[in-house]
Amino acid sequence: MSGQSLLVPGTLSPRRTVPAAIPRPEYVGKDAPAPYTGPEVQDAETVERMRIAGGVAARALAAAAEHIAPGVTTDKLDEVAHEYLCDHGAYPSTLGYRKFPKSLCTSVNEVICHGIPDSTVLRDGDIVNLDVTAYLGGVHGDTNATYLCGEADEESRLLVERTRESLNRAIKAVRPGRQINVIGRVIESYAKRFGYGVVRDFTGHGINTSFHSGLIIPHYDDPRATTVMRPGMTFTIEPMLTLGTHEWEMWQDGWTVVTRDRKRTAQFEHTLVVTDSGAEILTLP
């Protein structure tokens, strides 16, 4: 693995503004979102709105990823995604969610998730996850992917490739009538082939008009995850695999989660709807 130095917090830029005409999620300006009390199964009209929001999120993710290169700051990636979302009438769901200060998450190297974009400069050989969620039409679309910055080492490249494959395999396992725990079983069994850790305490989640509905999607084989999948259920799958332990620590910012052993980690995510025969990805560009 790369011998690069570990990350340290950078400097935050001022909070970016969103045009007043763009509708905000209900939690903006509050300490926490209102608890979701609606159904996990969505009607066709809601799913269609999620398909639109998910497409915008996917394209914002792609736009930001085009700027990944040595010498670019993670704040620049936030700027690109923010402007893309606003230009397409979407609110960046992370901005103001439980006081998160930015419009996407940038998780570099040993950061598992929820990295805050700042003055950190990307280096040749880094890997960086971008996590973008769009709020549009009263619903959220949530997606993320991990990218190589410049010439990453083989161990990092394989971690990224295999984490993407673990998501693909998990999506193929989605079927109505199956319990949610089949998702984590597929991911964990695949990750174990390579000796990877599977993060347990950060999960996929139900999503719809609510950013996080309360439905939990574990990425390991959790016998407690017995909820049965039904057509119309909408949720994310977002496996986080590590080169070492699945255990984690959090920076003092209350958001940035890093591997306890500071080894590298990768993640991929899509928002899905359960169909009569499997799953449809709602976050495709």
User: Residue 4: its pLDDT value, please?
Assistant: 73
Task: With cut-offs at 50, 70 and 90, classify the pLDDT of residue 48.
Answer: very high
Mean pLDDT of 72-96: 98
pLDDT band of 162, cuts 50, 70, 90: very high
Q: How far apart are CA 284 and CA 41, in angstroms?
A: 21
Taking the C-alpha atoms of residue 257 and residue 248, their distance in angstroms, rounded to an integer, is 6
pTM: predicted TM-score of the whole model, two decimal places: 0.97
Per-residue pLDDT tens digits for 4-40: 789 999 999 999 999 999 999 999 999 999 999 999 9
Q: How confident is the model at residue 3 (pLDDT cuts 50, 70, 90)?
A: low
Query: What mean pLDDT is reported for the chain?
Result: 97
**Is the confidence at residue 1, as pLDDT, over 90?**
no
> Per-residue pLDDT tens for 100-141?
999 999 999 999 999 999 999 999 999 999 999 999 999 999
Give all strands (DSSP E) within 126-179, no chain letters.
127-136, 139-148
